[in-house]
């Protein structure tokens, strides 16, 4: 592991130093997964905090207490972040966590367990736009530069957690059988109750339609924006400056259209196509 300014190099990917250290990465590698653990694996800016809202509600039959009393980072912690070592013992079964790790970095005990994973995928063009604004407001990340420069960084994988294509490919080829559910951010936006039903069935929860509807209401973009335990307003301004950009910024598919020129689009599409060409699965997105 080497460190450079605000980032650490770890196993070929960049990680923010503010939230990651050699110690916590070792802690993650030694973390003991249990069979009833639930994991959301999400490339950054694809819906991580949305899953931090959804999972406790699904796992506790729609009980609002966790989402109203515990900040998202302690409620459904990141496997790889410093905070896990502090709060791991406070998590109650079934434990829910999130990770930005590509599959190859999952710890040995995960492979030995029956822990389930929900992989959330988002249109990479919208991830890029979301990440561009996030880099402007997160004071612990490098300045993104111009939008044009940031496209290059993103396509080269010089952003936190590396290339989007590597992340998707790693989890798509993970061969976890019925331990993994693939869902997209766009499906969740289009019909949240349907996405929740799918997740609930996958997690073996027998939730009534009334409970699903209640959970959906509490997980809308609008409701989450007002939840102080989820909107990052508890975080000091020196760390995340919400005056520059809100964390819950737009919450819609397709904002890329307001940012990409035709030249950006051609460059982006050609690079992603090239990376995906030998894959046996097709992306659920028209890249043009």
Contact set with ligand A3P (CB under 6 A): 42, 44-50, 126, 130, 133, 189, 219-221, 224, 248-251, 255
| Residue 204: CB minimum distance to ligand A3P, A | 24
Residue in 240, 204, 189 with CA at minimum distance from that of residue 71: 240
Based on the residue annotation, tell me whether 135 is a catalytic residue of this protein: no
| Residue 54: CB minimum distance to ligand A3P, A | 9
| Residue 113: CB minimum distance to ligand A3P, A | 24
Largest CA distance in the chain: 51
Q: Does an H or E element contain 120, and which? A: strand 116-121
Q: Name which of 190 and 270 has its Cβ closer to ligand A3P.
A: 190
Q: Name which of 31 and 43 has its Cβ closer to ligand A3P.
A: 43
Q: Name which of 158 and 231 has its Cβ closer to ligand A3P.
A: 231
Report yes or no: 127 and 104 within 8 Å, Cβ to Cβ: no
| Residue 30: CB minimum distance to ligand A3P, A | 25
For the record, the structure tokens of 200 come out as 């609930």
Residue in 46, 56, 43, 202 with CA at minimum distance from that of residue 116: 202
Q: Does an H or E element contain 81, and which? A: none
Active-site annotation holder among 100, 111, 135, 218: 100
| Residue 72: CB minimum distance to ligand A3P, A | 9
Q: Name which of 226 and 270 has its Cβ closer to ligand A3P.
A: 226
For residue 78, count other CB atoms closer than 10 A to its CB.
22
Q: Name which of 199 and 224 has its Cβ closer to ligand A3P.
A: 224
Strand locations in the chain, DSSP E?
A: 2-4, 7-10, 13-16, 38-42, 96-99, 116-121, 180-184
The SS3 call for residue 121 is: strand
For residue 243, count other CB atoms closer than 10 A to its CB.
8
Helix axes 48-59, 192-202, angle to 10 degrees: 60
Catalytic positions are 100
């Amino acid at each position: 592991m080497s460190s450079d300014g605000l980032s650490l190099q770890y196993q070929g990917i960049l990680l923010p130093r503010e939230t990651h250290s050699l110690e916590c990465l070792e802690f993650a590698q030694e973390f003991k997964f249990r069979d009833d653990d639930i994991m959301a694996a999400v490339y950054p800016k694809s819906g991580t905090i949305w899953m931090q809202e959804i999972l406790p509600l699904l796992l506790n039959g729609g009980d609002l207490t966790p989402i109203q009393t515990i900040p998202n980072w302690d409620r459904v912690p990141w496997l790889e972040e410093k905070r896990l070592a502090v709060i791991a013992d406070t998590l109650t079964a079934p434990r829910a966590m999130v990770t930005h790790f590509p599959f190859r970095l999952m710890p040995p005990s995960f492979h030995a367990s029956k822990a389930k994973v929900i992989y959330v995928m988002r249109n990479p063009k919208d991830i890029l736009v979301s990440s561009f604004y996030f880099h402007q407001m997160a004071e612990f990340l490098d300045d993104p530069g111009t939008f044009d420069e940031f496209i290059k960084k993103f396509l080269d994988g010089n952003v936190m957690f590396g290339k989007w294509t590597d992340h998707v490919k790693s989890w798509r080829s993970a061969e976890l059988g019925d331990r993994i559910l693939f869902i997209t951010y766009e499906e969740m936006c289009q019909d949240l109750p349907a996405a929740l039903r799918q997740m609930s069935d996958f997690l073996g929860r027998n939730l009534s339609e009334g409970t699903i509807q209640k959970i959906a209401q509490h997980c809308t973009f609008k409701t989450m924006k007002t939840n102080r335990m989820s909107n990052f307003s508890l975080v000091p301004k020196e760390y995340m400056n919400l005056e520059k950009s809100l964390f819950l910024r737009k919450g819609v598919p397709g904002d890329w259209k307001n940012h990409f020129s035709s030249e950006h689009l051609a460059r982006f599409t050609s690079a992603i196509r090239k990376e995906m060409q030998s894959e046996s699965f097709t992306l659920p997105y028209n890249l043009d």
